[in-house]
Amino acid sequence: QITLKESGPTLVKPTQTLTLTCTFSGFSLSTSGVGVGWIRQPPGKALEWLALIYWNDDKRYSPSLKSRLTITKDTSKNQVVLTMTNMDPVDTATYYCAHPRESMYYFDYWGQGTLVTVSS
Amino acid sequence: AIRMTQSPSSFSASTGDRVTITCRASQGISSYLAWYQQKPGKAPKLLIYAASTLQSGVPSRFSGSGSGTDFTLTISCLQSEDFATYYCQQYYSYPPLTFGGGTKVEIK
């Protein structure tokens, strides 16, 4: 059974760096074809894909946010970490981590999400 | 980036209705399209992938069709638990993966 859970701060100040951790179970990021992605959703708005990391450490980012994002994995801990620099109030959103179907790019399992508010 | 446009953005329907939601891609995406259902305060749930393949465990009243640029999600007989927001997502060209703006199905 695949599960994912996001953790991190609920409140960050403008210009600060956000660090979110996705802890997962039921699969391994050392297995070929496996990845973990991040998607966010501002309150009342649509979903926005942010980043994906794969078993081979291949990383893909949203072009519009690439300069601010870093995604890393810790295979031994079954964790994926997303950092986003220079946070702004418009980055207020629920951040989800999700498991893409093996070797595909749609998401079959999602974490519950974590709401991050950016405010001074 | 490929833009995904959903229509309508919201509508009201009654239990038992047949409803159709449309998703249009700004360029051809073959059948690389997924549909998700999202209820308030919950994570999205995968309904359909490859434009028309039902995810395991999803009721057969949900169906998807289309290829190229035009896609539809149909619910054949709307149930109370189907009132939610639905999103399409293309995975033909990435990065970036892109989602539609969502279609909210409300109770009439």
Instruction: Report residue A22 as tokens.
Output: 């996705």
pLDDT tens-digit readout, B57-91: 999 999 999 999 999 999 999 999 999 999 999 99
In the predicted structure, residue A82 carries a pLDDT above the cut 90: yes
Please tell me the predicted confidence (pLDDT) of residue A63: 97
Using a CB–CB cutoff of 8 Å, tell me whether A108 touches chain B. Answer: yes
What is d(CA B29, CA A110) in angstroms, rounded to the nearest whole number? 24
User: Chain B residue with minimal CA distance to A5?
Assistant: B43
The four Cα atoms A74, A77, A79, A80 give a dihedral, to 10 degrees, of -10
Q: By the CB < 8 Å criterion, does A3 face chain B? A: no
In this predicted structure, the answer to whether residue A102 has a pLDDT above a threshold of 90 is: no
Asked whether the beta carbons of B104 and B39 are under 8 A apart, the reply is no
Residues in a beta bridge with B99: B89
Q: What is the pLDDT of residues B17-58, one digit of tens each?
A: 999 999 999 999 999 999 999 999 999 999 999 999 999 999
Chain A residues with beta carbon closer than 8 angstroms to that of B91: 104-106
Name chain A contacts of B43, Cβ cutoff 8 Å.
96, 98, 110-113
Cβ of A62 within 8 Å of Cβ of B43? The answer is no
Please list the residues that pair with A40 across neighbouring strands.
A48, A95
Q: Report the chain A residue with the minimal C-alpha distance to residue B9.
A: A46
Using the Cβ of A62 and the Cβ atoms of chain B, whether some distance falls under 8 Å is answered with yes
Residue type, B22: T
Of A47, A62, A106, the CB nearest to B46: A106
Return the percentage of chain A with pLDDT > 90, whole number.
98
Is residue A103 predicted with pLDDT exceeding 90? no
> What's the mean pLDDT when you consider all of chain A?
97
Confidence tier at A17 by pLDDT (50, 70, 90): very high
Contact between A53 and A38 under an 8 Å Cβ cutoff? The reply is: no
| CA A49 centroid distance within chain | 9
| pLDDT reported for residue B4 | 98
Tens-place pLDDT, residues A28-77: 999 999 999 999 999 999 999 999 999 999 999 999 999 999 999 999 99
Q: Are the CB atoms for A71 and A57 separated by under 8 Å?
A: no
Local structure of A77: helix, strand or coil: helix
Flag if A106 and B94 touch (Cβ within 8 Å).
Answer: no
State the pLDDT at residue A35.
Answer: 97
